[in-house]
Every structure is written in structure tokens, then in C-alpha cells.
Amino acid sequence: AIFDGHDGAGASAMCARDVETLMTRDGVELKGVVGTLDDAFMTRVARDGGDSSGTTAVIVSSDRDGFSVSWVGDSAAYACSVDSAGTTRAEAVTQEHALSNIHERRRLDALG
């Protein structure tokens, strides 16, 4: 997991500390981990106050059948491979959650 904080390190530090515990809980799906981390941080801010930081996130989970990626913000994940000729290839497996990405802009416009 990678967390890239902005406006301070509070959110990224808390997420980095708690992500492993959340991912090893029974019944927790990867797609729910980002929301759970966000809820926990917002609860902490409401209780303690004074933290306006935020974070991007890329979380990857793998097993013998493949991998899953969950992300938020403008951090990216790439699947890398080396072919038989020794050429390294990197393929983006995420799309940037930013208004500069036309697909993201359309998604947000559709939400109202």
C-alpha cells in the first residue's frame, strides 16, 4: 500500500499504520478498505480536531488467482512484466482520480 499525504502527514500516517490490520480482518473486501480508512480518519479528526491533511492511496492485494487494486486520488499503479526478449513493459491498471482525466470528470458530472 502507498499513501501520499498532502497538507500534512496525519492522514497518510494513520492509513499506513492501520491498512494491514484492516486487510487481514475476515470479511473485509479490498474495495471497502479505502472507505473504512477514510471513516476512521474523519472520526479521529472530529474527536481530536486540528488536522486538515489528506492522502491519496493505492492498495494492492494478490493471491494465486491474480491481484486487485483499490485507489483514490492521483496516485497510480502499474503492472510490470518482462517479455522473452528482455523488454520491460509497464501497463497502467488505474485511472487518475483528477479533473484532468475526462472519464473522471464525466463520472463526477453524472453524480451531480
Q: What is the pLDDT of residue 31?
A: 77
Classify residue 102 by its DSSP letter: H
Question: Which CATH number do you get for residue 16?
Answer: 3.60.40.10
Q: What is the pLDDT of residue 49?
A: 85
- Name the domain count of the chain: 1
Q: What is the pLDDT of residue 8?
A: 92
**Distances 78 to 45, 61, 95, 100 between C-alpha atoms, Å:** 32, 13, 10, 19
CA–CA gap between residue 63 and residue 44 (Å, rounded): 32
Range of 26-30, 61-65, 75-79, 103-107 with top mean pLDDT: 75-79
Q: By percentage, how much of the chain surpasses pLDDT 90? A: 47
Strand 2-6: give its sheet, edge to edge: 2-6, 54-63, 66-72
pLDDT tier, 74 (very low <50, low <70, confident <90, very high otherwise): confident
The domain of 57 spans 2-111
Q: What is the pLDDT of residue 89?
A: 96
Report the predicted TM-score, pTM, of the whole model to 2 decimal places.
Answer: 0.76
In this predicted model, what pLDDT tens digit does every residue of 21-54 receive, in sequence order? 888 886 777 878 888 888 889 999 889 988 999 9
